Each structure stands twice: as C-alpha cells, then as structure tokens.
Chain A
Amino acid sequence: MPKLEVVGLEKRYLLEEGDELRELVALQDVSFTVAEREFVSIVGPSGCGKTTLLMIVAGLAERSGGEVRLDGRPVEGPGLDRGVVFQEFALFPWMTVLENVCFGLEMKGVPRGQRLQVARRFLAMVGLEGFEGVYPHRLSGGMKQRVAVARALAYDPEVLLMDEPFGALDAQTRAVLQQMLVDVWAQTRKTVLFVTHSIREALLLSDRVLVMSARPGRIVGELPVALPRPRDPLSPEFAALQRALAEMLGGVPVGLV
C-alpha cells in the first residue's frame, strides 16, 4: 500500500470578470502515489498549481473534488501526521529557536523533558546547536529554514511536505541547504513530497520527479531518478536527466534552472 495517495484531485476557482463569473481550473484530475520512505518532487512552471496541490495535501486548502489518503485513510484538514515546511519559513517570531521546534511536540502532548531532548537532537541534525535561545529575527534566511525543517521533523510526522522551501534563498545558501536535506533524509528516511520549480533541485534530491503543466494543472509526466546519492550535477548521467526533464516541461533550455 502506498504511503500517500492523491486520487483524481480537482481544484476550481470562480473568477470575477466584470459582471461575469468565470471558472478557473487550477488542478484537473491529479493522481499519484508516494511510497513509504520515498522522496518525490513535483516540478512545474509558476502558477501551475503545485503549491495549491501541496496545500490541499497539507489540509490547509479546500479541494473541489477527489481525495487525499494517508496510509489508506482519507485526509481532512491539517494534522500532526503531515509536517509542512513553507517557503516563507513561518517561524513564530515570539518564540526562541528551541521553543519553535518544541511547539509541534507540545501540541502532540509529549512531556516537557522529552520535548527538549528531541528538539535539541533535531536542531543538532540541521546544524544549529548553540542557537537554541536565539529569536528567529536574528537568524539568516538559511538558518531560519533549518529551524523550520527541524520543527517539521521533530514531531515525527508520517510525511514531510515541502513547498519550495529553498526558493527564497540565495544560490549558495540554497546549495548548502539542499546538501543538508540530503543528509537529514538519509538519517530519518522520511516520506517526502517536495514542490519546486527547479529541475536541478528536483534531480538532486528525489527518487522520482512528477512533472506538472499549467492551466489546468495536470501531471503530464514522471521521471524516476536512479542515480546514487550524493549526486554530481556535472556528471553526464545527471545532465541527460536534466535534458529529459526540461523536454517534458516543454523545452525549457537545459541547464538554466
């Protein structure tokens, strides 16, 4: 049985155009599965609905049709079984780094002593030991996203949902955090659904890449990535996959993203 199943997902908006209401189809018949411990990326151009898709899986957005199942059970609303990392980091500014990571554990009902121990372990895993008592506004973007990853992993969700988590970072920090995620994933072997517009990022991280088209948002292709990790983006095998994925996306010049 797949860990996460998305079946026939639909999302329609009503758009006001003057006096007329026009229906906009954001997602059309989106179906895919993610296996236990699998790392799957969804790649697509901006506006293709990939973030909407992830937000529906997270239970934060309404769907117009279809179903999301986790371990065979249909998903309604947000819950601790799905950890979410947002592009905007979404750390609570009024909590220290440690308190931020403890929040989910507290909601889960983990006793205080154990909470601190688990939070410290995950902060160390993302390379942030020594920053426990710092407030988020003193951290750089890359460090904030490290905290957010630790926070989403700490309460041990069934799947980790990541919405362009490194999209707001500069290229160098982005590369460092991609490597961190590869390391963290190797240690935790979480089931991950990862949304990005970067072909390179998807190929660096994933076991499998799903390709989405825009308007309406549909899954138009799938590409398994069998390369061993850590992956070398300059290798011929990687380049070949990059070209294949770019062609599936509709001829984006290879190597640009």
Chain B
Amino acid sequence: MSVGESRQAVAARATAGLGRRGGLRARRQLVSLWHTVRTLALLAVAWELFGRSGVLHNALFPPFSEAVGRLVEWARQGLFWRDLGWSLYRLAAGLLLGSAAGTLLGMVMGYSRSVESWVVPALDLFLSIPSIAVYPVVILAFGLSNKAIIYTLAFEVAITVTVNTWTGVKSVPPVLVNAARTMGARGRVLFWRVMLPGALAHIISGYRLAFSRAWRILVAAELMGGVGSGLGFRIQEGRAFFDSELVFAGVLALGVLGVLAERLLLRVLEEATVERWGLLRS
C-alpha cells in the first residue's frame, strides 16, 4: 500500500476482489477436475492398448474396456453394491473410531508435557508394528468378523492421526498462544479457539494419510478372507475362480473410489479451512 493512496480506494479494491471470488473458485475447481480427468484418461488408454497388444494373454491381463464391462455386470447383479456397502461400512467405522481417538489423544499430548512423556514411547512401539500384523492378533479376540477388521483399521487410523495431530499442536506458533493468553484465553477456550484451528493443517493431512492407509489395510484384510463380502473379498474370489476380469474390475473400483473420496471429502474440508486462511498454498 503506497502512502499517498487513499485507504477507501484500497478497501474498495479488496472488497471488489471478494465479490468475484465465488466465480474464481468454481473455475479453479473445474481446472483441477480437468487435471485429474486427463491423467486418468491417459492411464485408461495405456491400459487398453497394453491389454490388446497381446503381450499378456487376455485371460491374464484383460484390457480396460473388459474390466469396465465386468464392473457393470457386477453392479447389475447387485452384488457390487453389497460389497461396496460392506467395505465402506468397515472403512467408515474404523475411520470414525480411530480419528476421534487419535485427534483427542494427539491434542492432549500436544497440550500436556506429562501425558506426552508417558505416551510417546508407546506410540513409537505401535508405529513400528504394521497394522496388517495386528489383524491376526485382533482376530484371536474377535474372530473372523467385521469387528476384527474395524478395530484393526481403527488402530492404524488412531496411530496415524495421533502423530499428526500432536505434531500440529506442537507447531502452533507460540506467539499466537501467547497473544490469546494476554487476552484472557485459558483452558478449553484456548484449546478450541487457538490450538485446534492452529493445528488443523496438520490434522487434515493426518486424516488424509490415515484414510489411504486404512483403505489399504481394509482391502488386505478382506483379501485374507473369512468375512464373505467386500471389494477385497470379491477380488480374492475372482482370483480363485480365475475370473481375471472381476479381479481387474475390483482393482479399478478401488482406485476410482479412492480418487473420489480424496476429491469429494478431504479437498473440500481443506478448501473450506486451512486454504482459506492462507495456512496452505492453494
């Protein structure tokens, strides 16, 4: 801002900029959607060409179009929606349990040094255990059941979210905490109004990481069999009956669902918060 310029002019310019922002945001979203679509389209074409090239027999590596055809058939039978429903139910339950516990524990760890000193060694221990190795342990307790998968997911999600939330709280600039304290903020107010929003960029990236890890473990656990439903189970079944189109259709469905979740849930949350606040480069 130059010294000579009237403040009203500057203010007017800033407000004018605000008015246009809705249109700009829609445009930016279209552009980012286009970026996603063009990469995925290219991959689909490459898959199709490779599948038709004859390098591998079609029964081993069906082209994209046949995998899509099998996916449509799977959906028409209604079985796909049941499998999807079960997988999403397990995922959602695991994510909900794990992220609630992880966010809470991470915040408390960032807040209290004594809790931190107690929990960190345990966290280090759990971090070094791959969750898929936890699954058999959980099965011993809950049998081959939904519960076993959900608790395994919750374990992985909780660990990931805890670490990220804790890091987030620790990296809230001390001067912001001090500023809030000089204005009388303490205890719960300080927590909700300063610590939580200040840590949100890290917390969201923790959710994102936890989501992709949970997705992998979910499918791996379903592949290990025993639950009789779910996308992973169906892929395994396709392999057992040498239905390679079904195997590829299943893998394709997993990929597309992951992309959708990222775009529809995590990005939206990010845009509404940390990106708007300038805490994350857009």
Interface residues of A (CB under 8 A from B): 58-60, 78-80, 82-84, 86, 88, 90-94, 103-104, 107-108, 127-131, 133-138, 140, 142-143, 151, 155, 172-173, 176
Contacts and interface: CB of A to CB of B under 8 A. Distances in A.
A88 B175 contact: yes
B13 to A, nearest CB: 9
Q: How many B residues touch the partner, as a band?
A: 20 to 34
A85 B220 CA distance: 54
Contact of A140 (B1, B184, B185, B279): B1
Interface centre among B15, B175, B189 (most CB of A within 10 A): B175
A130 B15 contact: yes
B272 to A, nearest CB: 11
B194 interface: yes
**Which secondary structure dominates where chain B touches chain A?**
helix
Interface of B: 1, 3, 7-8, 10-12, 14-15, 18, 173, 175-176, 178-185, 189, 193-194, 197-198, 200, 273, 276-279
B184 A107 contact: yes
28 contacts: A58-B182, A59-B181, A60-B181, A78-B181, A78-B182, A79-B182, A79-B184, A83-B182, A84-B179, A86-B175, A88-B173, A90-B173, A90-B175, A91-B179, A92-B176, A94-B198, A94-B273, A107-B185, A128-B7, A128-B11, A130-B10, A130-B14, A131-B11, A135-B276, A135-B277, A137-B277, A137-B279, A172-B3
B278 A135 contact: yes
Nearest to A55: B178
Contacts of B273: 94
Nearest first, the 4 A-B pairs at minimum CB distance are A130-B11, A137-B278, A90-B179, A104-B183
Contact of B183 (A80, A91, A93, A134): A80
Contacts of A134: 14, 18
Contacts of B10: 130
B277 A93 contact: yes
Contact of B278 (A107, A108, A136): A136
A79 B183 CA distance: 6
Nearest to A148: B179
